[in-house]
């Protein structure tokens, strides 16, 4: 009985102390490594990989497998890039702008379609598999039709870029919504979230990790469709990365071709890992989807 007595008078204070004691015991989290350490841990493997690729490339050139005018070494490509620097930059600007514009439009369309298909049963039955089908169709296959519809012009490229990216974006949102734990939806309903409010405050944020994965994939498809488009649809007097590739090939300038290829690769990696990769990691950490034990 002594146990009960001791809790008598100041039980409220005791309760406070017990709660905060338990909280402190359970909240001991391992410290996160410093920012510099994390950046370095992420950077050095990449730098090593690049160095390794350059070395192998140079070794292949030295091996004499192909004549040097067909397969130049890193040094020559470096020079070629700066020789043609202004053209390359203006070409990259045009291509990037086309990509961003098409992607943003695909974002609007993909999100709208994704939201409707995920939430409306009839639309799901009608269009669900069609969206997946569109996603697997190589976007190059759209070009003949796009050219007939829009002629050899910006419109044709835009059309194919949007068609390349939108299905992935829609699919990302659909699968995100499909995988929301039912408890969160019930929780939202108990709190009184209905209709559009529920969509904005509960469903969309709950689907966000998968949605961002869809955006990332959408960008990859947009970028691919775009470069294919620029090789096929060359618009007179306009520099673009695809057009530069083709122009350099016609001049038999291998170094120029490889320089442009590297620009394409670097832009692709930057957007994929810096923009979408960072967004993805931030969201996963915020949502507690990262295993802290490793």
Partner 1 sequence: MTRASTAARREEPATESPRSGAGSLAAISLDAVTKVYGHAGNAVPALDRVSLEVEPGEFVCLLGASGCGKSTLLNLVAGLDRPTTGTVEVRGGRPTLMFQEAALFPWLTVRGNVDLALKLRKISRPHRRETVQALLEMVHLTGFEKKMPHELSGGMRQRVQLARALGQQAEILLMDEPFGSLDAMTRDVLHDELERLWRETGLTVLFVTHNVREAVRLGDRVVLLSSRPGRVVAEFPVEIDRPRRIESHSVADLAAQITGRLRDEVRRHGAV
Q: Which residue ranges make up the site for partner 1 (CB under 8 A)? A: 3-4, 7, 11-12, 15-16, 18-20, 22-23, 26-27, 29, 183-184, 186-187, 189-193, 197, 201-202, 205-206, 208, 286-288
DSSP 200: I
**Closest approach of partner 1 to the CB of residue 12, in Å:** 7
67 vs 192, beta carbon nearer partner 1: 192
137 vs 289, beta carbon nearer partner 1: 289
Phi-psi region of 288 (alpha: psi -120 to 50; beta: other; left: phi over 0): left
Alpha-carbon distance of 226 to 203, in angstroms, equals 32
14 vs 130, beta carbon nearer partner 1: 14
Question: For residue 104, how far is the Cα from the chain centroid?
Answer: 13
**Closest approach of partner 1 to the CB of residue 95, in Å:** 35
Closest of 202, 167, 161, 208 to residue 185, by C-alpha: 202
Confirm if 262 and 77 have CB atoms less than 8 A apart.
yes
**Closest approach of partner 1 to the CB of residue 107, in Å:** 20
3 vs 47, beta carbon nearer partner 1: 3
Which residue matches tokens 């890039």? Answer: 81
Alpha-carbon distance of 236 to 231, in angstroms, equals 12
**Closest approach of partner 1 to the CB of residue 283, in Å:** 8
20 vs 58, beta carbon nearer partner 1: 20
Alpha-carbon distance of 223 to 267, in angstroms, equals 10
- HSE-CB at 212 with a 13 A cutoff on CA atoms is 16
**Closest approach of partner 1 to the CB of residue 262, in Å:** 38
26 vs 34, beta carbon nearer partner 1: 26
Confirm if 60 and 74 have CB atoms less than 8 A apart.
no
**Closest approach of partner 1 to the CB of residue 165, in Å:** 25
Alpha-carbon distance of 274 to 178, in angstroms, equals 28
**Closest approach of partner 1 to the CB of residue 209, in Å:** 9
CA-based torsion, 275, 276, 279, 282: positive or negative: negative
82 vs 287, beta carbon nearer partner 1: 287
């Amino acid at each position: 009985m002594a146990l009960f007595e001791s809790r008598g008078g100041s039980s409220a204070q005791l309760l406070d102390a017990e709660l905060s004691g338990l909280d402190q015991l359970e909240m001991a989290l391992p410290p996160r490594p410093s920012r510099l350490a994390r950046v370095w841990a992420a950077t050095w493997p990449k730098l090593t990989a690049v160095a390794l690729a350059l070395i192998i490339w140079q070794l292949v050139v030295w091996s004499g497998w192909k004549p040097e005018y067909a397969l130049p070494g890193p040094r020559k490509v470096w020079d070629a890039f700066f020789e043609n620097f202004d053209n390359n930059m203006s070409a990259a600007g045009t291509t990037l702008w086309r990509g961003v514009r098409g992607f943003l439009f695909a974002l609007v369309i993909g999100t709208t379609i994704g939201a409707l298909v995920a939430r409306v049963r009839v639309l799901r039955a009608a269009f669900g598999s069609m969206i997946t089908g569109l996603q697997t169709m190589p976007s190059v296959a759209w070009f003949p039709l796009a050219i007939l519809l829009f002629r050899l012009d910006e419109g044709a490229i835009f059309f194919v870029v949007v068609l390349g990216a939108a299905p992935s974006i829609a699919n990302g949102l659909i699968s995100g919504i499909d995988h929301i734990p039912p408890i969160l939806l019930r929780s939202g309903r108990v709190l009184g979230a209905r209709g559009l409010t529920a969509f904005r405050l509960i469903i969309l944020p709950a689907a966000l990790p998968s949605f961002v994965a869809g955006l990332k994939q959408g960008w990859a498809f947009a970028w691919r469709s775009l470069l294919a488009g620029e090789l096929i649809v060359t618009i007179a007097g306009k520099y673009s990365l695809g057009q530069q590739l083709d122009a350099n090939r016609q001049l038999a300038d291998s170094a120029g071709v490889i320089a442009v290829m590297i620009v394409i690769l670097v832009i692709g990696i930057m957007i994929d890992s810096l923009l979408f990769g960072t967004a993805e990691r931030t969201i996963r950490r915020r949502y507690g989807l990262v295993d802290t034990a490793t």
